[in-house]
Structure 1
């Protein structure tokens, strides 16, 4: 599937709150605008995370400050989640014929190629 076949989830919603999508090759004006907005949202989330740590470390906040912080964090988390969904949907799908198929019954892939159960380092000594 080529990039023009997959709609891109944009980092903004319609006026009525519905997701917006874009079809294209990723080189147009709207794609560049979306890239810039995603970058700004991620930068804002990083700054907000640092601010939240400072506020909480101070242990001298009002309920109103905590409420505002929670609202800002929730909004930022929604933005970052949308960016992750959009970027994840645009990742190329590997075409490896040797990769295990989902229906091969390996579940979480907790077995090695010889059929033995994989063990965490601490389990190896116990």
Structure 2
């Protein structure tokens, strides 16, 4: 991944009002960019934890519908977060020829 150039936009790892995406015009090194990096790291770590929990719960034959529904709701939230992180990071990738991903 490359650092954003001056005036580039970055999709932030949280949603705004009504679930709308939030963007930051950044050079990639300001305090809000660092906060976004930290939030992304937490979101990805939580996704790993949920996957482990899902493995455990699915291996438990007596898991109730309430437990499974709760897990599925948390996993849905996490998948939404991870998708947003992937979109944001993908938009900041540089292709092998030096062009920005998606600019072709």
Where on the TM-score scale, by shorter chain, does this alignment land: which range?
0.7 to 0.9
What does the per-residue CA deviation read over 1:57-109, in whole Å, with 9 as the maximum and x for residues that have no partner? 1121111111101101111001001000000000113327xxxxx8xxxxxxx
Structure 2: state its 5+ residue gaps: 99-103
CA RMSD of aligned residues (A): 1.6
Quick check: which has more Rg, 1 or 2?
1
CA distance in 2, matches of 1:92, 1:23: 18
Higher relative contact order, chain-length normalized (CA < 8 Å, sep 6+): 2
TM-score, with structure 1 as normaliser: 0.71
Deviation for aligned residue 1:5: 4.3
* Alignment match, 1:49: 51
* 2:15 corresponds to which of 7, 13, 16: 13
- Whose strand proportion is higher, 1 or 2? 2
* Alignment match, 1:73: 75
Mapping for residues 109-124 of structure 1, pairs under 5 Å? none
Structure 2 residue matching 1:77: 3-state secondary structure: helix
TM-score, with structure 2 as normaliser: 0.85
CA distance in 2, matches of 1:73, 1:17: 17
- Whose helix proportion is higher, 1 or 2? 2
Structure 1: state its 5+ residue gaps: 97-101, 103-126
